[in-house]
């Protein structure tokens, strides 16, 4: 293969430098490894409750959060592990939380659907579909009032795109001209119900027009497409230009939750994994353009595998909460 | 220095003084300034009953009008509270909790516990409740027991102008989510209120009147109804002790139990409907913790188990009055095994 010219190579990889590319790959790989491992571990019966896996959707959280810093906050969904990792929540603490351990992000009181780290601006995975968008109006309002230049990003699914909370939040964000970005992650299904059936318009992004904001559709398997769309929206928001609705389209690799037999959909996953997969595309793009060599990416793969292995081992060995923890942390004072 | 002002003015003054003291305090709600987007006044209303009137003029960037979109702006207040602001959101009528409850009870109330004690959400939701203005079934309810049921929320029911100011300042400074319930029929009630800022701690009941014969626990607007009944009972030689819990969560059980230990009789007066209410909650508390002290069955004076009616005749029958309270007291006094 002929090496690409430097200018073209930079363009093909959205102008990201080597360090940023490696970091993006590491984040996506960490999410994938985390989720693939949970898929296996859940089947052993050792993980309590429910887990909703983000595998297949890594490019969205990673590319959006690549633009964010400590001024910024995000709200997430049931399918929140990827958003947590991309916003910098500690992976070992996340794993311990999913195992219900006292060393977890939430001391074992939240679980998979409620992992949060407010010190990182991560307002939590959310057990309520459509719970996050109103909260993000608030974090964006705080950033605006305090003049930090920060933004709020609400990740939500195609299911939440039909919730009144989401639509109200879109309207309020426009009315108040908030530095907010709404990322509709359309993976095709809300639980077992197809978005083609439950969303009354062709695209979720079409709804943006009704709220006086730009609506953008991007290929969610393409890290660089998401990166560029998010970058433009976030920059506009930081400069006082108001909110944007970005619809990211892709497929989730696993069921709604682990254990879901997925009889409602044909085998679109195998096709996506083989040809569209975000990690595969990213790897091809950065190596073909000569920005990174495969060995560097392989090295990250190895490091990430080690991290996840350690996270699982440590989580399994960590202590569980005790009776003393049952009634604490309800109030600051009472 | 104290002077006489109304309950409405007391709420307004608490907001003003806290906004002056702390730049992180913001106020938001439907028509909280009023007139947004119109060619007339920018501060047209100050909320539907004028409680926030004048704040916009003094703090123009910090009093925010909202669309009629309770889920969005109550949720925004909650989100902003996690990022360093101290928002006071006005949920116009408590009945509208139905359209934004998720943001209150699944989000704000649970953050601290769900996130392992690492979240602080200092948000106040001010809301008007209660019957008496012929506003009928969807604008008149007493839904504070629903909030009281939820771990993670604090619930406040000021019964006078003095309580309104001190409890609201406490609510704004408090680091937990607070539901601050203002009885709409009390807004014109006047009373002595210190000009200076002060706080009334949560979970400390006020003994409004001393008495040895019967304990009356009354909430919100029912405190003055109980006082009216107690004055009549005193003329008949019955001395009622009146306790105003001031907050239903936390609830000052000690003061209630100590009083019943002394009087041996309990009447709970609550404008809310009777099932799963503060009346049943306080009755259960006393039955469990002070059973041996009781000299008569506990009496509850509440609204009936119906929606709030519209017609004046029906609404008057619906709301507990002093006569009903006096009758309940007499029943406990006359009770024989």
Q: Which domains does chain B have, with CATH numbers?
A: 2-194 (3.40.50.970), 206-334 (3.40.50.920)
Choose among A68, A9, A122: nearest CA to A231.
A68
Mean pLDDT for A145-171 is 98
Nearest-angstrom CA–CA distance, B216 and A80: 50
Helices assigned H by DSSP within B206-245: 222-235
Nearest-angstrom CA–CA distance, A80 and A61: 9
Does the annotation mark B149 as catalytic?
no
Structure tokens at B235: 């003329």
Query: Tell me, what's the pLDDT at A47?
Result: 95
CA-nearest residue to A100 within chain B is B116
CB A66, CB A20: distance < 8 Å: yes
pLDDT band of A4, cuts 50, 70, 90: low
Query: Tell me, what's the pLDDT at A311?
Result: 98
Nearest-angstrom CA–CA distance, B287 and B328: 17
A-chain residues near B111 (CB < 8 A): 116, 124
Q: How close A233 gets to chain B, by Cα (Å)?
A: 20
CB-based contact, A100 to chain B, within 8 Å:
no
Is there a contact between B174 and A333 if contact means CB atoms under 8 Å apart? yes
Is there a contact between A104 and B116 if contact means CB atoms under 8 Å apart? yes
Give the pLDDT means over successive 10-residue stretches in chain B (337 positions). Answer: 96 98 97 86 87 94 96 98 98 96 98 97 98 95 98 98 98 98 97 98 98 98 98 98 98 98 98 98 98 98 98 97 98 94
The CA-atom distances, in angstroms, between B273 and each of A195, B128, B270 are 42, 17, 8
Q: What is the pLDDT of residues A179-221, one digit of tens each?
A: 999 999 999 999 999 999 999 999 999 999 999 999 999 999 9
Query: Is it the case that residue A80 has pLDDT exceeding 80?
Result: yes
CA-nearest residue to A120 within chain B is B83
Is there a contact between B154 and A331 if contact means CB atoms under 8 Å apart? yes
Interface test with B, best of A145, A156, A243, A328 (most B CBs within 10 A): A145
Is there a contact between A141 and B80 if contact means CB atoms under 8 Å apart? yes
Task: Indicate the residue of B85, B118, B154 with minimum beta-carbon distance to A142.
Answer: B85
CB-based contact, B68 to chain A, within 8 Å:
no
Task: Indicate the residue of B75, B84, B152 with minimum beta-carbon distance to A137.
Answer: B75
Is there a contact between A137 and B119 if contact means CB atoms under 8 Å apart? no
Choose among B63, B60, B52, B70: nearest CA to B87.
B63
Nearest-angstrom CA–CA distance, A129 and B118: 23
Query: Is it the case that residue A326 has pLDDT exceeding 80?
Result: yes
Task: Indicate the residue of B64, B82, B120 with minimum beta-carbon distance to A123.
Answer: B82
Q: For residue A7, how many C-alpha atoms fall within 13 Å in the half-sphere facing its CB?
A: 0
Q: What is the pLDDT of residues B243-292, one digit of tens each?
A: 999 999 999 999 999 999 999 999 999 999 999 999 999 999 999 999 99
Interhelix angle for A294-317 vs A91-98, to 10°? 40
Task: Indicate the residue of B76, B83, B250 with minimum beta-carbon distance to A334.
Answer: B250
pLDDT band of A1, cuts 50, 70, 90: very low
CA-nearest residue to A154 within chain B is B79
Cis link prior to A212 (omega < 30° from 0)? Answer: no
R_g over Cα of chain B = 20
Task: Indicate the residue of A123, A134, A328 with minimum beta-carbon distance to B76.
Answer: A134
Farthest-apart Cα atoms in chain B, separation: 71
Is there a contact between B113 and A75 if contact means CB atoms under 8 Å apart? no
Q: What is the pLDDT of residues A221-248, one digit of tens each?
A: 999 999 999 999 999 999 999 999 999 9
Residue spans of the domains in chain A: they are: 6-316
CB-based contact, B115 to chain A, within 8 Å:
yes
Q: How close B290 gets to chain A, by Cα (Å)?
A: 23
Task: Indicate the residue of B26, B73, B83 with minimum beta-carbon distance to A139.
Answer: B83
Interface test with A, best of B30, B33, B65, B82 (most A CBs within 10 A): B82
* The architecture CATH gives domain A6-316: 3-Layer(aba) Sandwich (3.40)
Residues B139, B149, B183, B305: which is the catalytic one?
B139
3-state secondary structure chain A: CCCCCHHHHHHHCCCCCHHHHHHHHHHHHHHHHHHHHHHHHHHCCCCCCCCCCCCCCHHHHHHHHCCCCCCCEEECCCCCHHHHHHCCCCHHHHHHHHCCCCCCCCCCCCCHHHCCEHHHCECCCCCCCCCHHHHHHHHHHHHHHHCCCCCEEEEEECCHHHCHHHHHHHHHHHHCCCCEEEEEEECCEECCEEHHHHCCCCCHHHHHHHHCCCEEEEECCCHHHHHHHHHHHHHHHHCCCCCEEEEEECCCCCCCCCCCCCCCCCCHHHHHHHHHCHHHHHHHHHHHCCCCCHHHHHHHHHHHHHHHHHHHHHHHHCCCCCHHHHCCCCCCCC
Nearest-angstrom CA–CA distance, A298 and A306: 13
Nearest-angstrom CA–CA distance, B78 and B73: 8
In eight-state DSSP terms, residue B167 is H
pLDDT band of A12, cuts 50, 70, 90: confident
Choose among B7, B181, B15: nearest CA to B86.
B15
Q: How close B100 gets to chain A, by Cα (Å)?
A: 8
Q: Name A94's Cβ contacts closer than 8 Å, sequence gap at least 6.
A: A34, A81, A84, A85, A104, A105, A115, A311
CB-based contact, B74 to chain A, within 8 Å:
yes
Nearest-angstrom CA–CA distance, A204 and A202: 7
Q: How close B96 gets to chain A, by Cα (Å)?
A: 14
Is there a contact between A114 and B81 if contact means CB atoms under 8 Å apart? no
CB-based contact, A131 to chain B, within 8 Å:
yes
Q: How close B289 gets to chain A, by Cα (Å)?
A: 21
In eight-state DSSP terms, residue B308 is P
- Contact map slice: A 291-330 vs B, CB within 8 A: 328-330
Query: Tell me, what's the pLDDT at A10?
Result: 78
Is there a contact between A119 and B111 if contact means CB atoms under 8 Å apart? no
Mean pLDDT for A30-54 is 96
Nearest-angstrom CA–CA distance, B168 and B174: 10
């Amino acid at each position: 293969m002929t090496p690409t010219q430097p200018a073209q190579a930079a363009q093909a990889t959205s102008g990201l430098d080597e360090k940023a590319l490696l970091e993006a790959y590491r984040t996506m790989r960490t999410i994938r490894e985390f989720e693939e491992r949970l898929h296996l571990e859940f089947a052993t019966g050792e993980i309590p409750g429910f887990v909703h896996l983000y595998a297949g959707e890594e490019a969205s959280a990673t590319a959006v959060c690549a633009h964010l810093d400590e001024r910024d906050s995000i709200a997430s969904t049931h399918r929140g592990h990827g958003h947590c990792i991309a916003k910098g929540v500690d992976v070992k603490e996340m794993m311990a939380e999913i195992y219900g351990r006292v060393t977890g992000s939430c001391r074992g009181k939240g679980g998979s659907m409620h992992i949060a780290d407010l010190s990182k601006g991560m307002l939590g995975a959310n057990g309520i579909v459509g719970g996050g968008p109103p909260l993000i109006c608030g974090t964006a309002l705080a950033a605006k009032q305090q003049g930090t230049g920060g933004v709020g990003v609400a990740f939500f699914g195609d299911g939440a795109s039909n919730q009144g909370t989401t639509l109200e939040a879109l309207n309020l964000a426009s009315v108040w001209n908030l530095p907010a970005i709404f990322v509709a992650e359309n993976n095709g299904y809300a639980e077992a119900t197809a978005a083609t059936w439950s969303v009354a318009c062709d695209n979720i992004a079409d709804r943006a027009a009704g709220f006086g904001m730009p609506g953008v559709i991007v290929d969610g398997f393409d890290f660089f497409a998401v990166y560029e769309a998010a970058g433009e929206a976030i920059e506009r928001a930081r400069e006082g230009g108001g909110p944007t609705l970005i619809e990211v389209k892709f497929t989730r690799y696993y069921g709604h939750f682990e254990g879901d037999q997925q009889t409602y959909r044909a085998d679109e996953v195998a096709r996506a994994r083989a040809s569209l997969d975000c990690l595969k595309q990213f790897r091809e793009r950065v190596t073909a353009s000569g920005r990174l060599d495969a060995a560097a990416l392989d090295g990250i793969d190895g490091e990430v595998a080690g991290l996840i292995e350690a996270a699982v081992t440590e989580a399994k060995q960590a202590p569980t909460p005790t009776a003393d923890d049952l009634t604490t942390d309800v109030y600051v004072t009472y | 220095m104290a002077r006489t002002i109304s309950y409405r003015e007391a709420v307004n003054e608490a907001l003003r003084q806290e906004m002056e003291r702390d730049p992180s305090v913001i106020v938001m709600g439907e028509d909280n300034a009023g007139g947004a987007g119109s060619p007339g006044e920018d501060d047209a209303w100050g909320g539907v009953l004028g409680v926030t009137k004048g704040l916009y003029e003094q703090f123009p960037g910090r009093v925010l009008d909202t669309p009629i979109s309770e889920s969005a702006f109550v949720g925004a207040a909650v989100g902003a509270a996690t990022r360093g602001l101290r928002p006071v959101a006005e949920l116009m009528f408590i009945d509208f909790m139905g359209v934004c409850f998720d943001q209150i009870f699944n989000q704000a109330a649970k953050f601290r516990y769900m996130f392992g004690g690492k979240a602080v959400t200092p948000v106040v939701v001010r809301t008007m409740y209660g019957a008496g203005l012929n506003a009928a079934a969807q604008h008149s309810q007493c839904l504070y027991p629903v909030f009281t049921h939820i771990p993670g929320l604090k619930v406040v029911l000021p019964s006078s102008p003095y309580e309104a100011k001190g409890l609201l300042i406490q609510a704004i400074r408090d680091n937990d989510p607070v539901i601050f319930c203002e009885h709409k029929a009390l807004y014109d009630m006047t009373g002595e209120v210190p000009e200076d800022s002060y706080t009334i701690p949560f979970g400390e009941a006020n003994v409004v009147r001393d008495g040895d014969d019967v304990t009356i626990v009354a909430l919100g607007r029912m405190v003055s109804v109980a006082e009216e009944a107690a004055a009549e009972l005193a003329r008949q030689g019955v001395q009622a002790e009146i306790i105003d819990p001031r907050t239903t969560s936390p609830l000052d059980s000690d003061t209630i139990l100590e009083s019943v230990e002394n009087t041996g009789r309990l009447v709970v007066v609550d404008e809310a409907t009777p099932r799963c209410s503060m009346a049943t909650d306080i009755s259960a508390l006393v039955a469990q913790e002070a059973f041996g002290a009781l000299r008569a069955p506990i009496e509850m004076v509440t609204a009936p188990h119906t929606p709030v009616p519209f017609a004046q005749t029906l609404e008057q029958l619906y709301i507990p009055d002093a006569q009903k309270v006096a009758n309940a007291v007499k029943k406990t006094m006359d009770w024989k095994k």
